[in-house]
Structures are given as C-alpha cells and as structure tokens.
Amino acid sequence: QLSSVKETPQQEEEEVGPFTKMIEAMGFTGPLKYNKWKIKIAALRMYTCCVERVNYDQFFECSLPDTLNSWFLVAQLHVWMCLVRMRQEGRAGKYMCRYVVHSMWEDVEQRSKILGVDAAHRKEAMKAMTEMFYAALFGYDEGILSDDRVLAAALWRNLFNRECEDPRQLELLVEYVRKQVQFIDSLNGEDLLLTGEVRWRPLLEQNAQSILKVATPTYNDAGL
C-alpha cells in the first residue's frame, strides 16, 4: 500500500485590509491576485476535466452500478481532489473552488433534466446529493490526512455506499486517490488557476508510486 500523503503547507495568505476582510465576512469576494473572470473560466475547465477525462467504465467495473448516482459519486471524488489542491493557492484558490462546485451542481441539474427527472424529484435528489457531497468532503479530508484504513473507510462509505465487499477494490481505490493527490500536488498552482487543466493518472498502472510527468498547458499556451 502507498504511504499516507503528508499535508502540504498552504501558501501564506495574502495581506488584505480591514475593508476586504469585512466584505468577505459578508460572503463577497475582495480583490484577487488574478482576474476573477479568468478564474471562473478556469474553474469550469477544471470541472470539465473531472467529467471528461475520467474513465468511468473502469470505476463501474469496481462494483459500482452504471447510474447517474454512481457517475456523481465518481465525479465528486475527482472534484474533491481538485479542491484539496486549489485550497493551497490562497484566496484565489478558494475562490476557484467555489466555482468548481458551482459548475458541478449546474451539470448535475442539467443531466437530471435530460434524464427526464421532474422538478419535484429533481429538487429532492439535489438536496440529497448536496448532503452526500459535503459529508464526503469531510470524510475524504480526514482520510487523506490519515492512514490508508481511514481513507478506505471513507471510500467505502461515500463511493461504494457501504456495499463493497471486495477488499482488493478498496485497496485499488485507496492507491488511486493517494497517487492522484500526489500528482495534482506536483502541478504548478498558477497554471491551475489560469487554465484549470488537470490530467488524471490511470486507475490501473504498473508503477503507481511514481509521479508521471504529464504536460499541462501553461498560462500563455491557453491564450488567456
């Protein structure tokens, strides 16, 4: 098994004045180091990477039924890993996290409409998914900072809905999360804030403990 990933120290918070602190306490966002509109676009791109660059079929082969709910559980796992990384980027990173999550809920609602879920059931389902999402964030945060048993328990509760009886599948997912968080942590923070480009390592690979050098576009490459 992979060893636990150590908590990465966050960057020092930007020095902000009392007015900025006041408006942020009210739920608004003060001036940021980067353009807010570009961060929003990058956040949408990052979320898109969570749903378009993940091989969902491999996860469905791990005792997950091929349903909208299973898709959501896999998507939220990858969104959480992005949030873990972006929280290290100070106020701009936290601002980006907000819009990654916003993009996720818009996508979930749109997919529900396409599947023909009526308004009443959609509202009920969205409420349940919201509760599920924030419970998962808490469990995954605890798991990534603890040993593999704690992370495995979080995956068993949140990803497998307490229905996984094969310890090998849990071990595979623990290894996947460890290596993925390690890999994303190696990516340049400025590039992530300005492009949102994330590439995912395979669920199955021979040398899980090595960090693959997957090139991601730089700020200039993205033409922003």
- Residue 17's pLDDT band, with cuts at 50, 70 and 90, is low
pTM score, two decimals?
0.78
In angstroms, rounded to a whole number, what is the distance separating the alpha carbons of residues 175 and 87? Answer: 22
Torsion of CA 113, 76, 193, 105, to 10 degrees: 30
**What confidence tier does 3 reach under pLDDT thresholds 50, 70, 90?**
very low
Nearest to 90 by CA among 178, 141, 37, 24: 24
Q: Are residues 95 and 46 in contact, defined by beta-carbon separation less than 8 angstroms?
A: no
Q: What is the pLDDT of residues 124-135, one digit of tens each?
A: 888 999 999 999
Buried b (16+ CB within 10 A) or exposed e, 121-145: ebeebeeebeebbeebbebbeebbe
Note the pLDDT tens digit of each residue in 104-114.
Answer: 999 999 988 88
Which residue bears the tokens 């007015």? 19
Dihedrals φ, ψ of 60, to 5°?
-65, -25
The residue extents of the domains of the chain are: 35-192
Compute the chain's Rg from CA coordinates.
18
Q: Could you report the per-residue pLDDT of 88-108, keeping only the tens digit for each?
A: 998 899 999 999 999 999 999
